[in-house]
Structure 1
Amino acid sequence: MYTRRQARLRRYDVRFTLLDGSEITTSVHTLLNAGYAGRSQDDVAAHVKELAELGVPAPSVTPALYPVAPYLAQQADAVPAQHGRTSGEAEWALVITDDGVLLTAACDHTDRELEVHGVAWSKNAAPDVLARKAWRLDDLADLDSVRLQSWVDGALLQDGTLAELLTPQYWLPVLEARGLAKPGTVLLSGTLPMDPAVDQFGTSWRVALTDPATGDVIDLAYTVETLPEPIG
């Protein structure tokens, strides 16, 4: 019989199936979202300037790292939203477990209305959706060639490779220095540019990581469901 404390911890569990069919479960106690994490920090600086013109506050340093409530690490099929101006971001997620470090696909769903008041607040307003499959990080021979894509309502919104983002090898020492490189920590990578011709405010999301060396694909999909109108 579970105790009340065990029931609370159980809500944070995430389970991944590896390519060999084995499963790894970890209980998330630390969830972090990297931001402004492009490998070219000159491009990042230009992006910060563009966002500032839209009213999004600039970070004090780049790359940034935002703590997120750990229960927001979810392997969900649906994401609740309070209004129609929320959208996902295609990312990889680093998952540290008792059985090694995993890499999986993720989508950082973000409240764009709240983002202009504080990026950290917007990251805590919706789940970080994780795929149900994962690779062992050490099994990826050429991480930079892995393709990262997102689709909203079937339209391709983001398309690039992990060579555009800071690597797991960059972030692992950062976690180590902060005492966070331990089982139960999940870190999302930051995202790629979006196609400005595509409306990001859709209701159906898919994110995929594709390893061209093997053809293996790790993906996730979910729908956005608007909450009922509030009373009061």
Structure 2
Amino acid sequence: MSSLAFTLPDGTRRTVTVTRLLNAGYAGRSQDDVAAHVAELAELGVPAPSTTPALYPVAPYLAQQTGSVPAQHGRTSGEAEWALVVDDTGDLLLTAACDHTDRELEAYGVAWSKNAGPDVLAGQAWRLDDVADRVDSLTLRAWVTGEDGTEELIQDSTAAELLTPHHWAEVLRERGELEPGTVLISGTVPMRHGVDQFAGRWRVQLADPSTGNEISLGYDVVRMPEPIG
């Protein structure tokens, strides 16, 4: 398990002791587009899921609020996402997240790759009820910083591209899992072609254009020493 803390716009703090962490996959609103994406990944050797959208259980301790992510090699990268959090009071929160994924391991199994890196969450959150009427207009963006120190936009979309938090809340309710301690990561939006995802730093922003409010996170990807033996 891990313990997370979030600051709401009014300054109040909410906590969650994570007992269940789930990563949605292939969770685009258009399942026709998802099918095309599955076919593209298959050509790269990534096994197709048995059903879409998919839902992958992840070890709860991998839900982290951190500024540094260790990586065993140079082919790991983040994914801009939102996270649905059931806090310790049972309230539903929405925040920014970045699913850091091992791309080498992904070719052997997506579920394995999801358990090889953390889901990094921001330190701010909104009550889902407070943004429920405008979820689709929320923007989801990510930037990467390469070796030359230049930050480059790699993902730029809206939450309308993804299945909604309310959709996943209902899925969790049907599974008996919409309870304190559950965190669900949304799945991601397309990356821009030509931008190197294997960068040394990731930054993710979830923003509300109607209010100007935003939630952001950032972390460095730190290569681990080579193993001995």
TM range (shorter): over 0.9
Could you state the TM-score of these two structures normalised by the residue count of structure 2? 0.96
Q: Report matched runs for 1:77-156 at 5 Å.
A: 77-97=67-87, 98-140=89-131, 141-153=133-145, 154-156=151-153
Q: Which of 216, 221, 224 pairs up with 2:221?
A: 224
Q: What runs of 5+ residues in structure 2 fail to find an aligned partner?
A: 146-150
* Cα distance in 1 between the residues matched to 2:223 and 2:184: 27
What do you get for the CA RMSD once the two structures are aligned? 0.7
Q: Which SS does the other structure have where 2:120 is aligned?
A: strand
1:174 Cα deviation after fit: 0.8
Q: Which residue of 2 aligns with 1:170?
A: 167
Q: Which SS does the other structure have where 2:129 is aligned?
A: helix
1:99 Cα deviation after fit: 4.8
What's the % identity of the aligned pairs? 68
* Cα distance in 2 between the residues matched to 1:34 and 1:72: 15
* Cα distance in 2 between the residues matched to 1:57 and 1:228: 30
* Cα distance in 2 between the residues matched to 1:225 and 1:91: 21
1:181 paired with 2:173, answer no
1:17 paired with 2:7, answer yes
* Cα distance in 1 between the residues matched to 2:70 and 2:76: 10
Contact 1:24 1:99 in 2 (8 A): no
Q: Which of 211, 223, 229 pairs up with 2:208?
A: 211
Q: Which SS does the other structure have where 1:210 is aligned?
A: strand
* Cα distance in 2 between the residues matched to 1:17 and 1:25: 9
Q: Kindly provide the CA deviation profile for residues 100-128 of structure 1, in whole angstroms up to 9, marking residues without a partner as x.
A: 10000000000000000000000000100
- Residues paired across the two proteins, number: 222
1:138 Cα deviation after fit: 0.4
1:179 Cα deviation after fit: 1.1
1:89 Cα deviation after fit: 0.1
* Cα distance in 2 between the residues matched to 1:185 and 1:99: 10
* Cα distance in 1 between the residues matched to 2:90 and 2:198: 38
Q: Which amino acid aligns with 1:146?
A: L
Q: Which amino acid aligns with 2:223?
A: T
* Cα distance in 2 between the residues matched to 1:170 and 1:194: 23
Q: Which SS does the other structure have where 1:142 is aligned?
A: helix
* Cα distance in 1 between the residues matched to 2:47 and 2:135: 32
* Cα distance in 1 between the residues matched to 2:59 and 2:8: 26
Contact 2:90 2:179 in 1 (8 A): no
Moved over 3 A (4+): none
1:16 Cα deviation after fit: 0.1
* Cα distance in 2 between the residues matched to 1:200 and 1:117: 20
* Cα distance in 2 between the residues matched to 1:29 and 1:136: 20
